[in-house]
Structure 1
Amino acid sequence: MLWLGVPRAQAQAQTPAPASADAQVIARGETLARAGDCIACHTIPGKQLFGGGRPMATPFGTLYSPNISSDKETGIGTWTADEFYRMLHEGRSKDGDLLYPAMPYASYTKVTRADSDAIYAYLMSTPPVHQPNRPHELRFPFNQRQLLLGWRTLFFRAGEYQPDPSQSVEWNRGAYLVQGLGHCTMCHTEINALGGNTKSKEFQGGLIPIQDWYAPSLTSNKEAGLGDWSIDDIVGLLHAGVSNRGAVYGPMAEVVYDSFQYLSEDDVRAVAVYLKALPGHTSEVSSEAPTTAMTEEKNRLAPLGKKIYDAQCAVCHADQGQGKLPNFPPLANNQSIQMTSSVNPIRMVLNGGYAPGTMKNPMPYGMPPFAQSLSDAEIAAVVTYIRTAWGNHGTPVTEKEVNTLRSATIF
């Protein structure tokens, strides 16, 4: 959760949530706030909960998340439940300012009033953090808030989620979480030049700007998405961070750590049911046959790539890329390895990483970084090998691609 409309002036104090707010409502609000991943944006790691100030790099400049603690001077302690709901539902701050869409109100508008009130009650129950909000650092003309009117015309439609009577209760619960609090389209849908989602490519995957990670397709496409995944595999990945089909790294590891591991298994299963039902699209997979140049490059790099793989990777991922479950994910028939974008496997080899430590997987195994021990040419060779060996249908990667990602932010 991230809203970025800092009030122009301090409003007169108003009555916050009653001190006698029902404990069950507060507990439900905490779970819903977890579903919305509020901590990820509004808490600097290692700092006080919901104190804000976390920098958010965007193609338009840097935004700083606001303080959403119960502090009455620098947080939202003087907000009413009505004002909080308007913020989620309409994308407007307490004083009516339009919010920058890094706060995903285009998704949060689907949240029901009852759930909004529960989140509000929870936030008002948290300790106040006295930390003034930091001004955003946006380039002109993106620092002109009135321009958001045009963005909203193109990309925002207010309205709570309306259940589909033709679908099951479980499917509708999953749809509500994915489309609303989960704001999954923020990463898993291609972002256009205006910073909005490309509707025709919803849930089909996309490169996360600035972060340089590729969020994979969530549709039922069998080659690019979740079509071959079982419900249990999806639940395992979201709840534990690992499953028989792979593990989460990068930004998604933070989502699982801060959000999904705290949801009930019924809710996570509902999300899986909904995702499995998303229609796949042929456009998600490249229909172009490998060119002669690609085949020659693959054949050139494969011997060196196999040599490095056998020496550095096979001990964990096995000689045929089948992995050693549950700790070391398979590389053979792994969509994240074969995607059109080679960003993720390159970054994993360069930077390594750990799956998140979760209640179901408290001591995750990690992958060591190879940025210091392998050259760009060697990393290009081994990534090309794992993208094209064992029946994988990826394309070769270049030294230039590797070199570009050497300086990418590590998550």
Structure 2
Amino acid sequence: MTVRLSTSMIYQSGLNGILNSQSSLLGLQQQLSSGRRIVTPSDDPLAAGQAITASQNLSMVGNYASNRAVANTSLGNEDNTLDSIINNITAAMEKVVQAGNGTLSDTDRQTLATVLTNSRDALFALANSTDGSGQYMFSGYQSGSAAYVKDPTTGAITYAGDTGQRTIQVDQARQMSSSDIGSDIFNRANPGTTSYIGSAGATNTGTATFLAPNVQTGGAAAGSTFKIDFAIDATTGDTTYTVTTTDKTGTSTTSAPAAYTDGDTIDMGGVTMTLSGAPADGDSFTVEPAQGADMDVFATMDQLISALGSPSQADASASAALRNTLTTAARKLSINLDNVSTVQASVGARMNELDALTSTGNQRSLTANKVLSDLTGLDYYSAYSSLTLQNVALQASMAAFQSIQSVSLFSMNK
């Protein structure tokens, strides 16, 4: 059977061959110029789908890396600020020790009060530190407002932020606090402390002073608050005291009166405190756990400044009140210092965790890049060889088309 081919069919077949070769050549050129094996999804539908997943994973890893960088910068700024806060509180504690020198005059103590005023103001400025972008570090969610404000009338400094903890997603299953709230730094005791704080009654008129309370290991009354009340017998002049214990449930019990002598160490059932001097009738002392006490560092500094600025020279009662204030302040500042150090340790731990997560994230990034490269990466040697071969095929197709184009019945009958 003879197959008849029309001239148009011959021309169309030759043209299709040339166009197919040009299309293949163009595809290879696009691969070489882009450096990718898959230029369009149709090149390899399965690999194209897998590449989308790998690309999304790589993008997510990159986002977490950016978040970690932000968190690390924020925590680094906080760490530097906490360093300054620790130095400030340490310097204030040194001034408290210096103020306890009995040879100082009222003028000397007023000078110390001025120094502590400057220290308090510096601490106030540190409490309102910003992160470099105008956001207040210690305000919680209220990052656009100052963490602490000062009453223009009384000068009292109070926390104005909230309890919101700003967090950043630093890994797929890890959210991290990028800052701490001010009340956890300046207004509380270390959550793990078992220390007790002693204080003298505001209306005391005697000369009794106390040493900081001690907690006995395993004391049965741990967590309770104690109040020591003194009474003087109008007839005999004997001094006695009672101890009222208030437990965690609010239940109070009062001991029987006991005789007091100068230098007594009073045992309150696991907590002891030594007193010396002569209490007046109606004087009292309170011993309370640091966890339930007012640990506002600014209030403590204000009390110190007020006590040091008040005359006490040649006044036994005023001198005793000053010593008691110094003892209370020294213990509170020591607990404040421990708390700030604990917060700083937490900041350091978070920064170490960020370093570990960054190391893991870098490995994930390398893995995701390799997967993406394996799926879409181009073998340049193979692609160039194919390009050369396809170019030869195109030239051959064009030469064949020209040869067929010159053939006709008229030329054959010459």
Q: TM-score range by the shorter chain?
A: under 0.3
Higher strand proportion, which one? 2
**Greater RCO structure (CA 8 Å; 6+ sep):** 2
| TM-score of the aligned structures, taking structure 2 as reference length | 0.20
Higher helix proportion, which one? 2
Q: Which is higher, the Rg of structure 1 or of structure 2? A: 2
| TM-score of the aligned structures, taking structure 1 as reference length | 0.20
